[in-house]
Amino acid sequence: MFETRSQELLSQRRFLKRITLCLAFGGAMLAAALGLGMLGYHFIVGFGWIDALLNASMILTGMGPVSPLSTDTAKVFASFYALFSGLVFITVMAITLAPIFHRILHRFHLDERDFDEKP
C-alpha cells in the first residue's frame, strides 16, 4: 500500500486520497464496533436502543458506562466490550496515522539519499 524507500514521494493529491481511504476504513471499523456494542447492550443487557447506543458509544470512546448493570452476564459483556473497545481505539489510531508517519519518514529517507549522492 505504501511506496518503498527507493520510490519518489507521492503527489499531494494521491496522498490525500490515501488519507481519505484510511479515514474511511477507520470510520467503518468504529461503526462496526459501535454496532456490535449496541447489539450486545440491547440483546444481552436488555437496554433499549437509545440506551444501548449511549452506553456503547461511551465505552467505545473510553468515557465509561452510563447505566448500572444488574446481572452478571451484563457485567461480563461490558467487560469484554471495554477490552475490545480499547483494541479498536489503538487499531483505528494506527490506521489513520500511518500514512502521515510514513510520509514523514519517507521524506527523511529522500533527504538522506540526496545527502549520500553529493560529494
The answer to whether residue 112 scores a pLDDT higher than 70 is: no
Q: What stretch of H or E contains 79? A: helix 72-117
Spell out the domain ranges in the chain: 12-117
At residue 99, the pLDDT reads 87
Q: What is the pTM for the complete model shown? A: 0.80
The angle at the Cα of 38, spanning 41 to 21, to the nearest 5 degrees, equals 150
At residue 30, the pLDDT reads 96
> What confidence tier does 64 reach under pLDDT thresholds 50, 70, 90?
confident
Q: Are 55 and 77 in contact (CB under 8 A)?
A: no
CATH for 12-117?
A: 1.10.287
